[in-house]
A and B are shown apart, each in its own frame.
Chain A
Amino acid sequence: MELRKSYFADVRKDGLNEIGQPRPRLDSPGHVTGKTAYFADRNFPGMLHLKMVRSPHHHARIRTIDTSEAEKHPGVVKILTAKDVPHNVYTILILIQIGPEDETVLADGKVRWKGEAVVAVLAETERAAQEAGAKVKVDYEVLPAVFDMEEALKPGAPLVNEYHGQNYYLYDSGECRKVRFGDVEAGFAQADHILEQSYQSSPIEHAPTETTGCVVAPEGNDRFTCYTNTQAMFFTLDNTSIILQMPGSKLHFVGGTVGGGFGGKVDVIVEPIAILGAKLTGRPVCFIYSREEEMQISSPRAAEKVVIKDGVMNDGRIVARKVTGYTDAGAYSRHSPYGAQKGAAHYPGPYTIPNVWIDTYCVYTNRTPSSAMRGFGVTIGDFALEVQMDKLARLIGMDPLEFRFINAYRDGDMKAHRQPTEGAALIECMQEASRAANWPVAEKFMAMSSYKKGA
């Protein structure tokens, strides 16, 4: 890695004592010698193991649940179903007023994705919990499922989630988050060329070294200590407090040393049910995802579809951009309404375009619920935008890098969401990339600056 100190030297104060210094990490020796303690290093006498019985169907009505055989299995201490969870229907972003509550801790009457938690088994050993889980009998009536966002949005599609009432998230702005800037149709009318293209992505896994989990210990004073690898301590505590209808003062969360998150540990899944198990049994409980659960049960990055329509001039200026983004939330909201909205704020990318129209949808399907992942709302948008930029450049016979200089945002430029650009540095990144990759561009582009003259 090289620091190119020549850029922006006039606005930067170098020469500090600790900041800017490559100090060795104080936690590294512990990590590389195996001495760092993670949540799963906690082990308590009498600790129970929690395993989930999960839906084998993508969409089904639950007729009956029979746990009688499972309860007789040696080592089983407690079996939990929906009726045991004080506030079973929840949604995590209710903490920032993004409702409605749309997800069950344990399925109640219906499952909406393959892998959904239905019954929790608490047993003396992991094996006993697993074996007893196999003896839980759930009678399902399989329902038609939908796995494609466009299919889900068609009239007559199976309704995925009754708490929404339709297969998309309803924003205060309607069926999508909107950004309107300038007159996009006038921009298209004026353009020398129009290019409309569609981009898609698949869900992917966070693949952290340490899988999601927690260990809960009931304390003598009616409190519960939860050792967890959540990415957000109070966010998890406050959601747990709602789900268990338990005052936050009864909950003590300890964490902060995590073997990789990437957004995969900001859902609140393992802690509430493990604490409930500890409360109802009076014993410590651990609930730790297997690698299979981490890869196929925990939320992936959302599948997305992005449709971009651009109007471009022969001289390289983009004069209109219309983006329609679709985020596949799967069966439940989790963080996806936030992610889709973040996309609306991100488009049309780091370019100054006078006429912009953005619609971003959060769509429900019977796929595994997606949620936060490194860059969500933006990552797939950037894939779509930057491939589109390449296509546009080639369409008008221009060098792809030079084409970006022509449209790059600079300080003071008004963005589509009506904030003036501040602190831009796209031009300087491209200038340095031009040098580093030996990809020459015209001198006038190398002489540009993100600072505007007189600014």
Chain B
Amino acid sequence: MAIRRGRGVAAINYPTGMNLGGDPTQALVHSTPTGNFMVTLSSVDLGQGMKQIMAQICAETIGVPTDRVIIDTADTDTGPHCMGTFASRGTHRAGNAVIQAAKEARQVMLEVAAEELEVNASDLETDGQGNILVKGAPQKSISIFDVALSAHFKRGRSISGRGMFLIPRSYPEKETGAMKPSTCYAHACTVAEVEVDDETGEVTVLTVKNVFEIGRALNPKMVEQQLVGGSWMGISHALYETTEPYYPNRDHGGTDFNQYLMPGPGDLAETEIIVLERPSADGPFGAKGPGEMCANPQIPAVANAVFDAVGVRIDTLPITPERILRALKVQAAS
């Protein structure tokens, strides 16, 4: 009887957005009279930080700091339609809609600035700090604050824009299954290292090294929180969770966090995250949706590591100590 060590690898990809498309999202952007920008949506922030990312996308597109953008979302009386926050679609779909709306608003903003500065709009650029400058002559400039005031009170222009993003729906061909499920895919490769106690069947995940390719990390800190959380969830899925612990008997399912088995802080592995960015052709600034896929590769990586450690395959989730011990017993008998 001993503690045995093993490691396993898994490599995966994951589609961004609703399978087969057909999932639209709209956005509206308008400027307040003093040059703050309001983004109106009906998308839902699940806690992952959707509002923050939409603010950064709008800010980058308009050319203002992120704290000049306000997100008003998920009121069906004011926000235009969004299919919803699921299928790793929020950043990709709503982000594209926000860019389109913000571009239209930016164009009006530049036109008003051009009138104020008596130049062509195409000769203007933003400095990202709230100012509009003449290209090549940055001493000739106007603040976005003043442009918004002028647009509203003097020029009678609405600095606003409408955004829409739709991937047309694909219908699978009946006999061959020819179809277009998604326009871009995120990728991952995970190596997990485990210790298995061959007396108790208990698995300790020592390290999880995750490499994720996510198109573009729009906010690296928020990417990190989502990827680390996902990696933990993957370990939980692999080793702990079931709503029917005695299936096919369906009694005694967990009804609270005391009964429903999940890893505690002490059960979580040393987690390493490395991010690669291959911008997607149709993502906002190249972003893909990493929300779901980041919890997937740990499950097979842990399963493969358990085999590497003790030489038994557990092909049924979760990989419980009981299943490992039963398999070891069969292995010893043969």
Q: Interface on A for B, CB 8 Å cutoff?
A: 1-5, 7-8, 11-13, 16-27, 31, 58, 96, 114, 147-148, 172-174, 177-181, 197-205, 207, 209, 230-235, 237, 251-263, 265-266, 291-292, 295-296, 300, 303, 338, 341-342, 344-346, 349-350, 358, 367-368, 372, 374-375, 377-380, 382-387, 389-391, 400-401, 404, 408-409, 416-419, 422-426, 428-430, 432-433, 436-437, 439, 450
In the assembly, what is the distance between CA of A158 and CA of B45, in Å?
A: 42
A residues near B233, Cβ cutoff 8 Å? 374
Asked whether A423 and B278 contact (CB < 8 A) given A19-B60, A433-B189, the answer is yes
| Chain A CB within 8 A of B30 CB | no
Residues in chain B near residue A231, CB distance under 8 A:
44, 46, 84-86
Instruction: Determine if A425 and B278 form an interchain contact, defined as CB atoms under 8 angstroms apart.
Output: yes
**How many whole Å from B204's CB to the nearest CB in chain A?**
17
- Bound together, the chains give a CA A236 to CA B63 distance in angstroms of 35
Given A292-B256, A295-B253, A375-B296, A203 contacting B242 (CB threshold 8 A) = yes
**8 Å CB contact of B304 from A147, A368, A390:** A390
Q: Decide if A426 touches B187 in the complex (CB within 8 Å).
A: yes
Pick the contact of A437 from B209, B220, B244, B291 — CB < 8 Å?
Answer: B209
Are A426 and B13 in touch, CB under 8 angstroms? yes
- Does residue B119 face the partner (Cβ distance < 8 Å to A)? no
Are A8 and B276 also in contact (CB < 8 A) when A234-B76, A300-B243, A387-B313 are? yes
Interface string of B162-185 (1 = CB under 8 A from A): 000000010010111111111011
**Ranked 10 nearest A-B pairs via Cβ:** A256-B74, A232-B84, A179-B177, A386-B300, A17-B128, A345-B181, A437-B191, A202-B242, A22-B221, A386-B10
Apart from A173-B175, A382-B12, list 5 A-B contacts with CB within 8 A: A3-B277, A18-B128, A344-B172, A375-B293, A418-B177
Specify the chain A residue showing the minimal Cβ separation from B276: A7
The answer to whether A423 touches B52 (Cβ under 8 A) is no
Cα–Cα, bound, A31→B48 (Å): 12
Docked Cα-Cα span, A383 to B316, in Å, equals 10
Question: In the bound complex, do residue A177 and residue B296 qualify as a contact, i.e. CB atoms below 8 Å apart?
Answer: no
B242 contacts A204, CB within 8 Å?
A: yes
B213 CB contact (under 8 Å) in A31, A199, A237, A429: A429
A-B contact pairs, 16 of them (CB 8 A): A1-B227, A8-B278, A23-B66, A23-B221, A173-B177, A202-B316, A261-B86, A342-B15, A345-B15, A350-B11, A383-B299, A383-B300, A386-B297, A389-B11, A417-B181, A437-B7
B212: Cβ under 8 A from any A Cβ: yes
Shortest distance between the CB of B36 and any CB in chain A (Å): 13
CA of A416 to CA of B176 in the docked complex: distance in angstroms? 9
Q: Is the CB of B177 within 8 A of A358?
A: yes
Chain B interfacial positions (CB closer than 8 Å to A): 7-15, 19-20, 22, 42-47, 49, 51-52, 55-57, 59-60, 63, 65-67, 73-77, 79, 81-86, 128, 169, 172, 174-182, 184-185, 187-191, 209, 211-213, 216-224, 227-228, 230, 233, 237-238, 241-244, 247-248, 250, 253-257, 260, 262, 272-281, 285-286, 291-293, 295-297, 299-301, 303-304, 307, 313, 315-318
CA of A252 to CA of B44 in the docked complex: distance in angstroms?
15
Collect the chain A residues with CB atoms within 8 Å of residue B248's CB: 147-148
Contact of A390 among B285, B292, B307 (CB under 8 A): B307
Q: Are B76 and A233 in contact, CB atoms less than 8 angstroms apart?
A: yes
B187 x A350 contact (CB < 8 A): yes
Q: Which residue of B lies closest to A7 (CB)?
A: B276
Residues of B contacting A391 in the complex (Cβ-Cβ under 8 angstroms) = 313
Given the complex, which residues of B lie within 8 Å of A26, measured CB to CB? 51-52, 55, 66-67
CA of A261 to CA of B63, assembled, Å? 32
- Contacts A345-B15, A350-B187; A254 near B172 (Cβ below 8 A): no
Identity of the chain B residue whose Cβ is nearest the Cβ of A404 in the assembled complex: B11
Find out whether the CB atom of B217 lies under 8 angstroms from the CB atom of A20.
yes
Tell me if A372 and B255 are in contact (CB < 8 A).
Answer: no
Question: Quick check: B279 and A11 within 8 Å, CB to CB?
Answer: yes
Q: Are B56 and A428 in contact (CB under 8 A)?
A: no
Contacts of B274 in A (CB 8 A): 1-2, 4, 432-433, 436
Q: Are B317 and A253 in contact (CB under 8 A)?
A: no
Distance, CA A177 to CA B178, complexed state (A): 11
The chain A residue sitting closest to B214, CB to CB, is A425
* Residues of A close to B85: CB separation below 8 A: 231-232, 261
Distance (whole angstroms) from the CB of A276 to the closest CB of chain B: 18
Assess the B243–A207 pair: CB atoms within 8 A. Answer: no
* Assembly CA distance A424 to B184 (angstroms): 9
Q: Is the interface of A mostly helix, strand, loop or mixed?
A: loop
- Chain A nearest Cβ from B55, distance in angstroms: 7
Give chain B nearest CB distance to A414 CB in angstroms.
11
Contact A1 B223 (CB under 8 A): yes
Contact A341 to B19, CB < 8 A, known contacts A3-B277, A11-B278, A19-B218: yes
* B45 touching A257, Cβ below 8 Å: yes
Residue of A nearest to B304 (CB): A390
Contacts of B223 in A (CB 8 A): 1
Q: B residues within 8 A CB of A58?
A: 250
Task: Select which of B185, B260, B281 is within 8 A of A205 by beta carbon.
Answer: B260
A197 CA to B315 CA, complexed, in Å: 9
Residues of B contacting A382 with CB < 8 Å?
Answer: 10, 12, 296-297, 299-300
Given A386-B300, A433-B211: A235 and B12 within 8 A (CB)?
A: no
Asked whether A3 lies within 8 Å of B220 as measured between CB atoms, the reply is yes
Chain B contacts of A419 at CB under 8 A?
Answer: 179-181
Which residue in B49, B180, B187, B293 is a CB contact (below 8 Å) of A424? B187
B187–A291 touching, CB < 8 Å: no
Q: How far is the CA of A446 from the CA of B279 in the complex (A)?
A: 21
Residues of A within 8 A of B220 (CB): 1, 3, 20-22
Contacting residues, chain B, for A300 (C-beta < 8 A): 243
CA distance A378 to B180 in the complex (A): 16
Contacts of B286 in A (CB 8 A): 12
Q: Contacts A254-B74, A342-B19 given: A2-B256 contact, CB under 8 Å?
A: no
Contact A237:B76 (CB < 8 A) given known A1-B220, A12-B277, A207-B260: yes
Most chain B beta carbons < 10 A, residue from A58, A204, A428: A204
Determine the distance from Cα of A128 to Cα of B59 in the docked complex, in whole angstroms: 51
Q: How far is the CA of A233 from the CA of B66 in the complex (A)?
A: 26
Please measure, in the bound complex, the distance between the C-alpha atom of A254 and the C-alpha atom of B75, giving whole angstroms. 4
- How far is it, in angstroms, between the C-alpha of A174 and the C-alpha of B174 when the chains are bound? 8
**Which chain B residues border A207 with CB–CB below 8 Å?**
257, 260, 262
